[in-house]
Structure 1
């Protein structure tokens, strides 16, 4: 007897999850439909995992159907109703396509959730936890195993629910329950900061560590560094704010460059100037203008993606 192709089974589960999502959002689902959905989710771990993934992916596309629905509900002509129907189909198909491509071996490297440079997203999880992604970040999500894998960039997790979460961050694993943690992958290490509660950290090398509120540690290929306090201004990105308190301008600009596409350069002589303030990350050009207004620097813009800071009245 020929065995079923595992990839085909995964595709079928993904399609079923997307179809259930489309039904639940159609406005026509009955109590019986919701009961059948719950039975389907409970019948296999793969079903529940696919359901959680398709809900997470759906977060990225919820605006399209809603916007078109608002434009058509109070204008009952056939053309607009057809457009709404098409939009609702797109809303169901897009997460299906995303979910299916992530099940293919060719696309296995692509993360479940990701942000572009300068983008930020908040994702509510089914158990009441909240996942946040900072600029240029990517995370894989396995709700069945309660495992988050940080592929790149920076994330924050406010963990809730009964069972603990595990975060795989390349240089170690972080386990937490009813705690709040920020995890950032750098070029050669991983930084773990505890905003509230306690977390257990298991480096790839060495013994496990217990971090408490206000503590931070860096993990690398050789193990963990010394535990120390973290800068309370550091998690400001979660509120879309970049904060500095008497910070060297060079360090500030290196951090700011994470939120800008293209090249941001500055002359070495500006490194030691000091910056203090709270800056809204939704407009990094305005941040550069504020720096020029308060420090002896000027901003030279060749293109939107090529910006240089030089001492004021100095020609590059």
Structure 2
């Protein structure tokens, strides 16, 4: 467990070049968008230069496809005097993080000042004070505890699970941007995703309070979706949701963006799926300990193929 370090940014032209690469490879670019791309390239010499440098790097990565992460990093780090490195946005203790990418969906908040951060691909245990049970942090989870009340955790991103246990322990509250989860002894899984917060409860019950909406009592064994305005039960059981602690992602009729966001925590690179695929729903069991295989499985289930460049970039396209 470690506190994150600052991540340097890449310049505007580099961000836009990567965004255009993802869009054009995604297979859903319209004729108008392709024309806009050509206008972008011709409008500024720095744009053309950024595009050329990106293609040069991708050619090098294609030659390394299937190679080790260290080989990919060496390719990205190859000296290029007088030029910015385009794809390497920064290295955390977990390794290469491709960030700051502009496309239809922009990676937003990194919560770099979180009190605790799990940069690994395997769950880590965080001991809490005040007689509370340990909390398991999933990949890329970021939480705040300092300056908050006893038993109060703010989950900024990723997944956490509590162990539950003694009925007389201090009530535990877990807050996300969407609302509050409150329980006294039940085991909880809380997952902050781009569109909602997913909550599962085992061995007891809990209260969900949406930030601007409903307050719902949830029963043992159930799974719920919470946004700022609403709370709704999900088709998965709590056992399905807790499978992430065992290295599996189990989803039933789940939106593809949920699956892509979750796999992204383990892939630690940039993932691009066509917009039409992101509007679909899927069911399945995906291996979190093998994100490449999981991405292949997701793409095939959607009738797509996916090209993966090490642990840096994955682009799904129509077959």
TM-score by length of 1: 0.51
Matching residue of 2:61: none
Tell me the CA shift for residue 212 of structure 1.
0.8
Determine if contact 1:214/1:229 at 8 Å carries over to the other structure: no
Matching residue of 2:123: 120
Q: Distance in 1 between matches of 2:308 and 2:156?
A: 33
Determine if contact 1:247/1:276 at 8 Å carries over to the other structure: no
Matching residue of 1:51: none
Matching residue of 2:313: 306
Residues 73-88 of structure 1 aligned to structure 2 (within 5 Å): none
| Residue number among 242, 267, 292 corresponding to 1:285 in the alignment | 292
| Residue number among 231, 255, 269 corresponding to 1:262 in the alignment | 269
Q: Which has the larger radius of gyration?
A: 1
Matching residue of 2:186: 179
Matching residue of 1:129: 133
Aligned residues between the structures: 206
| More helix, by proportion | 1
Structure 1 residues 229 and 214, CA, compared in 2 at 3 Å: closer, same or farther?
Answer: farther
Counterpart check, 1:110 vs 2:118 = no
Q: Distance in 1 between matches of 2:142 and 2:295?
A: 27
Matching residue of 2:227: 220
Structure 1: give runs of 5+ residues left out of the alignment: 1-55, 59-107
Which digits, 9 at most, give the CA deviation of each residue in 1:120-166, with x for residues without a partner? 31224453613111222211235971211212222222234522112
Q: Distance in 2 between matches of 1:274 and 1:141?
A: 35
Which digits, 9 at most, give the CA deviation of each residue in 1:18-73, with x for residues without a partner? xxxxxxxxxxxxxxxxxxxxxxxxxxxxxxxxxxxxxx879xxxxxxxxxxxxxxx
Matching residue of 2:206: 199
CA-based RMSD? 3.9
Q: Distance in 2 between matches of 1:257 and 1:192?
A: 20
Q: Distance in 2 between matches of 1:277 and 1:209?
A: 28
Structure 1 residues 148 and 268, CA, compared in 2 at 3 Å: closer, same or farther?
Answer: closer
Determine if contact 1:270/1:310 at 8 Å carries over to the other structure: no
Tell me the CA shift for residue 189 of structure 1.
3.5
SS at match of 2:185: coil
Determine if contact 2:117/2:140 at 8 Å carries over to the other structure: yes
Q: Distance in 2 between matches of 1:224 and 1:296?
A: 33
Structure 2: give runs of 5+ residues left out of the alignment: 4-110
Q: Distance in 2 between matches of 1:290 and 1:115?
A: 26
Matching residue of 1:149: 154
Structure 1 residues 236 and 57, CA, compared in 2 at 3 Å: closer, same or farther?
Answer: same
Q: Distance in 2 between matches of 1:203 and 1:165?
A: 17
